[in-house]
Amino acid sequence: MSDKKKRDQGGADIVKGKASPIHGVDLPGGDVIGRPLRKADGLDKATGLALYTDDIQFPDMLHAKILRSPLPHARIKSIDYSEALAMDGVVDVMVGSELPIPYCVIPWTRDETALCTDKVRFIGDGVAAVAAVDEATAIEACKRIKVDYEALKPILTIEAAKQPPEDEAIHVGNRRGNQHKYVDLSFGDLDAGFRHSTSIAHDDYYFHGTTHAPIEPHCAIGKPEPGGQLCIISATQVPHYLQRELARVLGMAQQNIRVIQPALGGAFGGKSEPFDLEFVVAHLARKTGRPVKCLYTREEVFYSHRGRHPMAMNFKVGLDDEGKIQAVRSKIDLDGGAYSSFGLVTTYYAGQLLTGPYDFASYGFTSTRYYTNKPCCGPKRGHGSVQPRFAFECALDEAAAGLGLDPMTVRERNTMPRVATTVNGMRVQSNGFLACLQAARKASGWDEKWGKLPRGRGIGVAGSMYISGTNYPVYPNEMPQSGVTVQLDRSGRALVLCGASDIGQGSDSMFTYIVAEELGIEPGHVRIVSSDTDLTPVDLGAYSSRITFMAGNACIDACRRLRKLLLEAAATALGQSAKRLRLAGGYAVAVDDTAVSLPMQEVFRLAEAENGTLSASGWYNTPLLGGEYRGGTIGSSPAYSFTCHVAEVDIDLETGELRVPKVWVAHDCGRALNPVIVEGQMEGSTYMGAAELMMEDQDFYPADHAAPGLHLGPSLLDYPIPTSSEVPEFEALIIESLDPEGPYGAKEAGEGPLHSTIPAIANAIHDAVGIRLKTLPITAAKIWRALQETH
């Protein structure tokens, strides 16, 4: 690692690392891998047996509730909780000063405390917490806490955040007022690029705020354990990062904190950093000596947010005569909300992840994140790049129209080579984007439809690229990003231990398939213990679409070590060369004579007799990657996935009502370890994208309102998500490009397939009615207004 890269990572102590073993496609797989198997936890969930955090109860457990700020921006002058504490059933009360150490998932932007210490920064900011014998008592006690506030002028828009603060900055002491992060990067010769462009699209776009809205509200339990240890059971996607931040804030040794993530009811990025309730239950459990649970209301889920940043984007795209992209330039302002969250990374991602799937030689972006007095934005499925992707793909269509080019054709012409380095230095080793375009073109009947459908009906296309994990963890270290231990038992069962979080995406299942494939046993003979920091090797968590790639490789690594021992034992017993043996379907079988075989259970026993107890750890770390410039590591990934969406729309010309009858999604996931799960991710991503465009809107009352900064409607009624009755039909088209470093060639499938949904629909609207809507969401009212104006 160069010194420069070390600097970029903050220059903290770096443990000497070594290059990770890469197994990649030298393992073809096929007995289990690639087959549409059931999920490891499917029946558990279908029968109601799976335990989610709020399903867990402990004897003598207390219930906590957090009192939240009714003001968007105010100093806390005093808190009087004597009346609450005196209530029958109230066991303890805590306030922010008890846990003043700031935290953040990104170690260099720690600007949040467990509860507010000196001021509140949005309506819903946590101020105090009560532990009581039951939740109803805790709720009532919160109402009896008196907080004396001194109101400050709220800053609610990007424009307001750019001005010098009237009262005071949201984070007093921040060097740049309410500006949180500024990034300005440029690659190649932009001026020349635009000079060579004959068609330039240059426009402003706006992507609104949206939130994750997992059906399971956040919940956490803190439980004191013997020896001064503390166990936190939480609906989190990042047990390891949570454990680190809990230890820091609570002032405890990390090893004395155990984080367990039970079954998780959806996350999408909304549970990928520490939240106030986790600190609250930990602290109150420590104070009271009793287990303490805290469950968010749906309203609190909306306030905890960390969803998509609203972005105001100026995009300029230039094409030459032949439709080749010559230059792309963007200026993006991010509305970050009250705290940092992953915002430092978001600010980079808004530019860094746009340099594919198209090949261009000059690119520049300026990206600035601002603090505002609203719930904090963060990473939502497709972190940072979904918003600019919308603008870019719309602008690309506009520029292509200037040349009279078919949007599909212009994308095909600009596809980057299969192996490439992007203009900002990202290494691409597998790329099935052209195949995605072709598959979607064919399946959707593009050639018969584009420009040919009757007015009101239209079809649109868009493409995108996304990371399979980030090359660098959020805190600098050179230890593995993922570790997996596999233990074999003489009963014939394999046990996988890994810190990875199954949040519904199916990582536990992925381990099952890999172990079954590698060791030749039935998937039903594999057990998984995941995301328990006491029991499992570290995996950094379910974010950035990293688990299949990283934990998958680590699991193969562990299995390979055991596989060698198993093959040797079987070879000895069967009198065959290990090279001529296959482990599959529960047997070790001689390739040359299938009658010669041994059940795997017996192979396990023989291997255990020969080698002692069978267990192996495998691990994965990323190769050193990224551009040689400040921020060049952010956005670098060991592999990139590619997506193309084609959407059809049907617009009611009188009402503006938008229907999306069908969306085709072609996604290059490298290799589909299980096509059913991959298709499920593609459909779910596309659904979420379509919903963001059509109906979702996390918005707040403006400064001139009676309640500035108040959420417009923090409920699933006022923040509608599509029901089964109006959801579009989706057709998933899997493209397999076989990445040389991915497990069996696999890349991500959980986030990439969201990105281009939104511009594909926006482009289809343009095809349908000739209107370019540049501000999201695209509601019926907005289409109707635009139609009125064109008349």
Q: Is 363 in the site for other proteins (CB under 8 A)?
A: no
Burial string for 417-441 (b: 16+ CB within 10 Å, else e) reads: eeebebbbbbbbbbbbbbbbbbbbb
209 binds other proteins (CB under 8 A): no
Counting contacts by CB under 8 A, is residue 57 touching other proteins?
yes
Q: How far is the CB of 506 from other proteins (least distance, A)?
A: 7
For residue 688, the SS3 value is: helix
- Token pair recorded at residue 453: 């459908």
Instruction: Give the 3-state secondary structure of residue 293.
Output: strand
Distance CA(126)–CA(268), nearest Å, equals 23
Which of 4, 55, 591, 628 is the binder for other proteins (CB under 8 A)?
A: 55
Tell me which stretch binds other proteins (CB under 8 A): 254-262, 445-453, 593-601, 643-651: 593-601
Binding footprint of other proteins, residue count (CB under 8 A): 100
C-beta of 272: minimal distance to other proteins in Å?
14
User: Which window, 80-88, 189-197, 537-545, 724-732, contacts other proteins (CB under 8 A)?
Assistant: 724-732
Other C-beta atoms closer than 10 Å to the C-beta of 377 total: 30
Question: Are the C-beta atoms of residues 640 and 426 closer than 8 Å to each other?
Answer: yes
Cα–Cα distance for residue pair 664/66, rounded to 1 Å: 44
**Residue with tokens 């609207």, as numbered in its chain:** 765
Contact 527, 491 (CB under 8 A): no
Q: Which one of residues 78, 613, 723, 790 is an interface residue with other proteins (CB under 8 A)? A: 723
Interface with other proteins (CB under 8 A), residue from 314, 721, 740, 786? 721
Identity at 141, one-letter amino acid code? A
Query: Does the footprint of other proteins cover residue 550 (CB under 8 A)?
Result: no
Q: How far is the CB of 343 from other proteins (least distance, A)?
A: 24
Residue 496 neighbours by CB under 8 Å, 6+ apart: 484, 485, 486, 511, 512, 515, 526, 527, 528, 529, 530, 555
* Contact stretch for other proteins (CB under 8 A) within 51-59, 177-185, 310-318, 737-745: 51-59
Residues 133-192 that bind other proteins (CB under 8 A): 135-136, 139
Q: Which of residues 66-125 bind other proteins (CB under 8 A)?
A: 68, 70-71, 123
Q: Which of 46, 192, 419, 591 binds other proteins (CB under 8 A)?
A: 46
Residue selected from 5, 23, 39, 309 as contacting other proteins according to rule CB under 8 A: 39
- Closest contact distance (angstroms) between CB of 259 and other proteins is 19
What are the CA-CA distances from residue 256 to residues 102, 247, 328, 379 (Å)?
Answer: 20, 8, 50, 29
User: Applying CB under 8 A, which part among 304-312, 477-485, 636-644, 651-659 lies near other proteins?
Assistant: 651-659
Q: Which one of residues 3, 448, 654, 789 is an interface residue with other proteins (CB under 8 A)?
A: 654
Which of 656, 670, 745, 759 binds other proteins (CB under 8 A)? It is 656
Nearer residue to other proteins within complex by CB, 122 or 360: 122
The smaller minimum CB distance to other proteins, of residues 320 and 602, is found at: 602
CA distance 51 to 45: 8
Shortest Cβ distance from residue 210 to other proteins (Å)? 12
Q: For the chain, how many residues are written?
A: 791
- Is the backbone peptide bond immediately before 357 cis, with ω within 30 degrees of 0? yes
Q: Which of 261, 288, 487, 505 binds other proteins (CB under 8 A)?
A: 505
In the list 492, 578, 617, 703, the residue contacting other proteins (rule: CB under 8 A) is 492
CA distances to 29, 211, 252, 382, 545 from 38, rounded to whole Å, are 17, 30, 41, 26, 21
Contacting other proteins (CB under 8 A), which of 3, 15, 19, 47? 47
| 8 Å CB contact between 527 and 495 | yes
Structural tokens at position 354: 């746009």
Partnered with residue 659 across adjacent β-strands are 650
- Which segments within 633-719 are labelled E, that is strand? 640-651, 658-668
83 vs 726, beta carbon nearer other proteins: 726
According to the binding rule CB under 8 A, does residue 679 interact with other proteins?
Answer: yes
Work out whether 672 is an interface residue with other proteins (CB under 8 A).
no
Contact criterion met (CB below 8 Å) for 31 and 520: yes
For residue 182, which of 168, 161, 152 has the smallest C-alpha distance?
161
Least distance in angstroms from the C-beta of 18 to other proteins: 36
Q: What is the CA radius of gyration of the chain?
A: 27
For residue 218, which of 166, 254, 159, 262 has the smallest C-alpha distance? 262
User: Site mask, other proteins, residues 691-720, x = CB under 8 A?
Assistant: ----x---------xxx--xxxxxxxxx-x
Q: In angstroms, what is the minimal distance from the CB of 80 to other proteins?
A: 17
Answer yes or no whether residue 206 interacts with other proteins by CB under 8 A.
no
| 661 lies in the site for other proteins, by CB under 8 A | no
- Cβ atoms < 10 Å from Cβ of 509: 23
Q: Does 614 bind other proteins (CB under 8 A)?
A: no
3-state secondary structure of 618: strand
Residues numbered 260 to 299 that lie near other proteins (CB under 8 A) are 263-268, 295, 297-299
Q: Minimum distance between the CB of residue 524 and other proteins, rounded to whole angstroms?
A: 3
Residue 625 and residue 573: Cα distance in Å, rounded?
45
- 786 in contact with other proteins (CB under 8 A): no
